[in-house]
């Protein structure tokens, strides 16, 4: 699955969650809600990394860490969608920026 497929699927699921929330009388999420969700997910990642550092890599911790990192991606792409930012365009541009920075610093990749 490439980035455009990931974003397309994120938008589809985001729409389904909006429909579910409307149907069940709950608030439809806006950009501030996605940001708050992302911050919460990042907090979970931080806690799991601390546990991993203390206990070492454990199957259950790593499974939870993978799930939380996926939640971060979902929230990031959902937030970008709310803000009308085309991540299929912007993300490759940002990667090129990072690549150029490394070249300027003469770091081999």
pLDDT in tens, 22-44: 999 999 999 999 999 999 999 99
Residues 6+ positions from 96 with CB-CB distance below 8 Å: none
User: d(Cα 47, Cα 108) in Å, to the nearest integer?
Assistant: 32
CATH topology of domain 3-104: Helix Hairpins (1.10.287)
pLDDT band at 109 (very low <50, low <70, confident <90, very high): low
Tokens of 49: 């990394």
Q: With CA atoms as reference, report the closest residue to 74 among 35, 26, 100.
A: 35
pLDDT in tens, 68-97: 999 999 999 999 999 999 999 999 999 999
- Contact 17/23 with Cβ under 8 angstroms? no
Report the SS3 class of residue 80: helix
User: d(Cα 58, Cα 100) in Å, to the nearest integer?
Assistant: 36
Q: Where are the domains of the chain?
A: 3-104
């Amino acid at each position: 699955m490439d980035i455009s497929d990931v974003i397309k699927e994120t938008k589809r699921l985001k729409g389904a969650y909006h429909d579910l929330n409307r149907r069940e009388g709950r608030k439809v999420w806006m950009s501030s809600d996605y940001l708050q969700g992302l911050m919460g997910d990042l907090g979970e990642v931080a806690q799991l990394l601390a546990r991993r550092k203390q206990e070492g890599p454990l199957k259950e911790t790593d499974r939870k860490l993978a799930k939380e990192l996926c939640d971060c991606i979902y929230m990031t792409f959902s937030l970008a969608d709310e803000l009308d930012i085309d991540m299929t365009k912007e993300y490759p541009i940002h990667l090129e920026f990072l690549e150029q920075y490394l070249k300027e610093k003469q770091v081999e990749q």
